[in-house]
Amino acid sequence: MTRDGQRVAVILDPDVFDRLVDLAEDAMDRRALDEVRTDGDYLPWDKVKAGLGIE
């Protein structure tokens, strides 16, 4: 949809919208994980599981 020749809205199928939101959330999670790994402020999954008593 446009207003005065400028895009102002998009109409999407709800399933497509949900998929795009999921992809965006996954990308944000990957970015946050990369930042933590870069900072060196993380625990390997094996240590987390051991600390929680999970095999």
Please report whether residue 19 resides in a domain: yes
- Domain span at 24: 12-52
6 domain residue, yes or no: no
> Is the residue at 44 inside a domain?
yes
Report yes or no: 41 and 32 within 8 Å, Cβ to Cβ: no
Convert the pLDDT of each residue in 11-52 to its tens digit. Answer: 999 999 999 999 999 999 999 888 888 877 778 888 889 989
2 is a domain residue: no
pLDDT at site 36: 80
Single pTM value for the model: 0.58
Structurally, how many domains does the chain consist of? Answer: 1
Is 46 within a domain? yes
Q: Using 50, 70 and 90 to split pLDDT, how confident is the model at 6? A: very high
| Structural Rg of the chain based on CA atoms | 20
Kindly state whether residue 17 falls inside one of the protein's structural domains: yes
Query: Is 3 within the bounds of a domain?
Result: no
Please report which confidence band the pLDDT of residue 3 belongs to, taking 50, 70 and 90 as the band edges.
very high
d(CA 21, CA 39) in angstroms, rounded, equals 27
pLDDT value of position 27? 96
DSSP 7: E
List the beta bridge partners of residue 16: none
Block residue for tokens 């996954």: 26
User: Considering the domain boundaries, does residue 31 fall inside one?
Assistant: yes
